Structure 1
Amino acid sequence: MISCGKNDKPIIAFYYWKTIFKLSQNETEVLRDNNVTKLYVRYFDISLHPENQQPIPVSPIRFQQNANNFTIVPVVFIQNKVMLLPDLDIDDLAQKTFSFIEEINAKNKIQCNEIQIDCDWTLKSKDNYLKFIERFKKLSQKKLSATIRLHQVKYFRKTKIPNVDSGVLMYYNMGTIAPDAANSIYDKKIAERYLKSLKKYPLHLDLALPIYSWGVHIRNQKVIGLRSKINVNELNKDQNFEQINAVFFKVKQSNYKNGVFYEENDLLKTEAISPEDLLEMADDLDDNLAQKPKEIIFYDLDEFNLKNYEKNIFKQVISCF
């Protein structure tokens, strides 16, 4: 790729999206080989209590390993339905969110200078979301970043821009999860509809790129679920499944696999990101961003994801900027 190979590269960072922080040997080696010093760690989600419909933290992280070797950025994923609450107590939510982050930090002796809020806000939830960001920023007195989706970039005059220090463009989950052959994680044609908007976006953007994969479970032409950590080689060895083309497996006979029931004639569509996809993304983004990103954050750090790539892929990607 012609544009690859410039000086002053972005740093490589990773999202850590598991509920227990404990790095495997392979994960540790990848971090060391790529000089990774910064991890964006999902601390907890915020959802709604099923009975009283009030915000509650869900699946908080537990550290089983010391994280002192890394700069840790706590990430809180707030479900959009929380921001859609008509009577949302924004001050209370901001206070409780910050307090819980501080509690996790204190318990694990983590000093953090930055916090990231992850929320796919919409036109209907933007007022609550933007107010929450204002309150949270004032309260935390820390650097604040926010995840930004492609539609929020293209239509920023409507969706508005949160008052954060920087944004992270989530360059994945572009399409609809559907029974067709399209890849919902990354679709160049869909991406092209948004790329030209990037130069006009007033907030500095770093980038999040996907290294995950999944299977889309289809029955009678309807999607019935997403299946994580689908190993294509393992499916090829399984006599209950038959590969019928590049992305589809057909269930030959009803069976249970990894706790999931597959009925005869069900389809499993595999969606993954190739090294070529990552380099194509990097090249397209480099051509269209208003400013060079300071960081490329890969989603997400997991042994299962890492084994699908050569060790030097992350360095190859950042060399495109």
Structure 2
Amino acid sequence: MQRVYIRYFDVDLNPKTQNPYPKSPIRFEDSTLNFEIVPVVYIKNKVMLDKKVDLLDLAQKTNHFIQQINTKNNISIEEIQIDCDWTLRSKDNYLRFIQIFKKISSKQLSATIRLHQIKYFKKTKIPAVDRGVLMYYNMGKIAPDSLNSIYDRNIAKRYLASLKNYPLPINIALPIYSWGIHIRDRKIIGLRNKIDVNNLKNNSSFVLTNKNWFLVKKATFQNGIYYKEKDQLKIETISESDLFEMGNDLKKHTNQNPKEIIFYDLDEFNLKNYDAAIFKKVIDCF
């Protein structure tokens, strides 16, 4: 049975009450009987930065909402994953929440881990989970320059050597998504997901000026977004060679044997950009 990690909902602060609430909960349209489902809950760091947050109440409500979704869709689970980019200021709340939630849920618990949390784990600490998931993407700053913010090997190399010292068992999550950075007057005005490069090339309003850069020749609407004349779109993607490079670099720098290699984000738009064979090649690196 195939295992799929599915975002169930986000936890954000209500703008009016400043209390945590579930945002954008999932709605299942198809049967999940052929899949092993792992619910993923993304908790915004500002929730954990709130000194007044009731961690027990938050853990109980988070677990209850997961159970509600599972019951409604006849889903049985063994594991839950918590995704939070905690910081030094929020770590005490976050680590305590993890302890409480694991006890309440009585499930296997995994947590996403960023590269800086691997290298500086003595400061950032280690959540009391069964396994971490190293998010090997979103490495650089989203900026109007030539670098790829999703994956930059030079940035990754600053952290890779630390993998051998990390005491928590980890799986690896690799990126298979892309986005467009919408730039106006050298300022970023938004991220545009699901950008079809071929559509841009066939659209007379856009001109390819460099490898991954498009210039807006005349003002237009594209997928509900207004593009002003002289706006730019910087397309950031992950190639098959990037994935293979990631796999080899990670294997060289870890003593662990990951139980899973997770590809994010598995949807029809992203999958069509890759030959199916690349996934096995990357997994075989380990």
Runs of 4+, deviation exceeding 3 Å: none
Deviation at 1:210, TM superposition (A): 0.3
One-letter amino acid of the structure 1 residue matched with residue 217 of structure 2: K
1:92 aligned onto 2:60: no
Tell me the CA shift for residue 290 of structure 1.
Answer: 2.3
Match 2:48 to one of 83, 107, 113: 83
Q: 2:122 aligns with which of 157, 162, 166?
A: 157
Q: Distance in 1 between matches of 2:265 and 2:254?
A: 23
Contact 1:279 1:317 in 2 (8 A): yes
Q: Which residue of 2 aligns with 1:222?
A: 187
Residue in 2 aligned with 1:183? Answer: 148
- Give CA-to-partner distance per residue, 1:64-105, whole Å, 9 cap, x none: 111011111010000001000010100000000000001111
Note if 1:55 corresponds to 2:20.
Answer: yes
Q: Does 1:271 align with 2:231?
A: no
Percent identity, aligned pairs only, is 63
- Contact 1:149-1:170 at 8 Å conserved across structures: yes
Matched-pair contact (CA < 8 Å) for 1:248–1:268: yes
- The answer to whether structure 1 residue 248 and structure 2 residue 209 are counterparts is no
Alpha-carbon offset, residue 289 of structure 1: 1.3
TM alignment of 1:78-227, pairs within 5 A: 78-227=43-192
Query: What amino acid sits opposite 2:151 in the alignment?
Result: Y
* 8 Å Cα contact 1:201-1:290 kept in structure 2: no
Residue 19 of structure 1 corresponds to: none
Q: Map 1:30-41 onto structure 2 (within 5 A).
A: 37-41=2-6
Cα distance in 1, alignment partners of residues 75 and 225 from structure 2 = 38
Q: Partner residue of 2:226?
A: 261
Q: Which has the higher contact order (CA 8 A, sep 6+)?
A: 1
Q: Does 1:42 align with 2:7?
A: yes
Q: Could you tell me whether the CA contact under 8 Å between 1:218 and 1:268 is conserved in 2?
A: yes
How far apart in 1 are the matches of 2:202 and 2:172? 36
The AA in structure 2 aligned to 1:171 is Y
What residue identity is the alignment partner of 2:178? S
Normalised by the size of structure 2, how large is the TM-score?
0.99
Q: Which residues of structure 1 form unaligned runs of 5+?
A: 1-35
Name the CA distance, whole Å, in 1 between partners of 2:95 and 2:221: 45
1:235 aligns with 2:210: no
Alpha-carbon distance, 1:209 to partner: 0.3
Q: CA deviation at 1:146?
A: 0.2
Give SS of 1:62's match: coil
Deviations 1:28-87 (A, max 9, x none): xxxxxxxx6100011100001010111000011111111011111010000001000010
Aligned residue-pair number: 286
- Compute the displacement of 1:158 (Å): 0.4
Match of residue 3 from structure 1 = none
- Deviations, residues 87-130 of structure 1 (Å, cap 9, x unaligned): 01000000000000011111111110100000000000000000
1:284 partnered with 2:252: no
Contact 1:181 1:247 in 2 (8 A): no
TM-score, normalising length: structure 1: 0.88
Residue 232 of structure 1: how far off its partner (Å) = 1.0
Indicate the residue corresponding to 1:295 in structure 2.
260
Q: CA RMSD in A?
A: 0.7
* Distance in 2, Cα, partners of 1:141 & 1:309: 38
Q: 1:246-284: per-residue Cα shift (whole Å, max 9, x none)?
A: 011000011111111111111100000000000000000
Match of 1:139, SS state, is helix
Name the aligned partner's letter for residue 285 of structure 1.
Answer: L
> Secondary structure at the residue paired with 2:39?
strand
Aligned mates of 2:220, 2:214 — CA distance in 1: 14
CA distance in 1, matches of 2:74, 2:267: 24
Q: What is the deviation of 1:313?
A: 1.1
**Offset from partner CA, 1:158-204 (integer Å, 9 cap, x none):** 00000000000000000000000100000000000000000000001
